[in-house]
Structure 1
Amino acid sequence: MRDIKFRAWDEENKTMIQWHDTFFYDTSAVTRWSGDFSYIEMPLMQYTGIKIKGKEVYEGDIVSEIYDDIPDIGVVYFVDGMFKVNFKSSEDYALSGCNLDQTEVIGNVYENKDKYEELYDFFIL
């Protein structure tokens, strides 16, 4: 079974906040209301359960993959019960179907918003 983890982007402080199990017991840093997820003020990103080159992959991460000697970049997202990658110049793939030896995490949609703006047509920020 995979770890259930979340992180959130703190726009005000321009920093990524990592949570552990304590997140489920004290969410006041994010919600301003302890224990109530309906008031979340920061976007949450869930851990996919996959590591690429030792780095945990979350929703909203930007990945680079080389397929048939052609580099491509895409954004990790969750749809229809699975994590997928929406690549810029090819079709979407299940994250678990990517060649992880040829893939690396190069950023995320919040910290690298200006650099990869063309990837955000489908991703709600």
Structure 2
Amino acid sequence: MIKFRAWDKEEKEWLSIRTIGFDDDGSLVKWELLQSTGLKDKHGVEIFEGDVLEIPVAIDTETLNGEVVFEDGIFGVKDVLDGWGFDIGLVPLIEIILAKKVIIVGNIYEHPHLLEGDNG
């Protein structure tokens, strides 16, 4: 089963989803609909689009934060190494989950500061 959660852009709160209503043009004006990746962090918490993950880096036991996105048909973390001068684009989430013990530290709606500047 595909799972979703929704962020109410006007009220700035999470919504419980029972049904989904669209405007005439097919858009979700008031909500941001976010899909589950089907993967879990090291604590067993389900990872959704828009979550911010803390990703351990082998060097000096530092961590980097990255946003979970769905792009080009895959879930991934985009530009996670930009702060280190690497431009590698989208890293598939499955590669990060298999290689590292990531944890969800927040989401882009309630915790946007987690993605600002040096966040490790």
Report the TM range for the smaller structure's normalisation: 0.7 to 0.9
- Quick one: structure 1 residues 37 and 8, their matched pair in 2 at CA, closer, same or farther if it must change by over 3 Å? farther
Q: Mind listing any 5+ residue stretches in structure 2 that lack a counterpart? A: none
**Bigger relative contact order, structure 1 or 2, given CA contacts below 8 A and separation 6+?**
2
Q: Does 1:13 align with 2:5?
A: no
Q: Please say if residues 59 and 77 of structure 1, whose CA atoms lie closer than 8 Å, have aligned partners that are also in contact.
A: yes
Residue 106 of structure 2 corresponds to 107
Return the alpha-carbon distance in structure 2 between the equivalents of residues 37 and 5 of structure 1. 23
Q: Please say if residues 54 and 102 of structure 2, whose CA atoms lie closer than 8 Å, have aligned partners that are also in contact.
A: yes
Residue 48 of structure 1 corresponds to 37
1:88-125 Cα shifts (integer Å, max 9, x gaps): 53544211111465210011111113x23538xxxxxx
- Quick one: structure 1 residues 16 and 71, their matched pair in 2 at CA, closer, same or farther if it must change by over 3 Å? same
- Name the SS of the counterpart of 1:74 in structure 2: strand
Q: CA RMSD in A?
A: 2.4
TM-score (norm 1): 0.71
TM-superposed CA distance for 1:59, in Å, is 0.7
TM-score (norm 2): 0.73
TM-superposed CA distance for 1:37, in Å, is 7.8
Return the alpha-carbon distance in structure 2 between the equivalents of residues 78 and 44 of structure 1. 12
Q: Mind listing any 5+ residue stretches in structure 1 that lack a counterpart? A: 120-125
- Name the SS of the counterpart of 1:97 in structure 2: helix
- How many residues were matched structurally? 106
Runs of 4+ in 1 over 6 A off after TM superposition: none
1:25-80 Cα shifts (integer Å, max 9, x gaps): xx24xx4x6xx781311111111010112111111110001120221110000111
Residue 123 of structure 1 corresponds to none
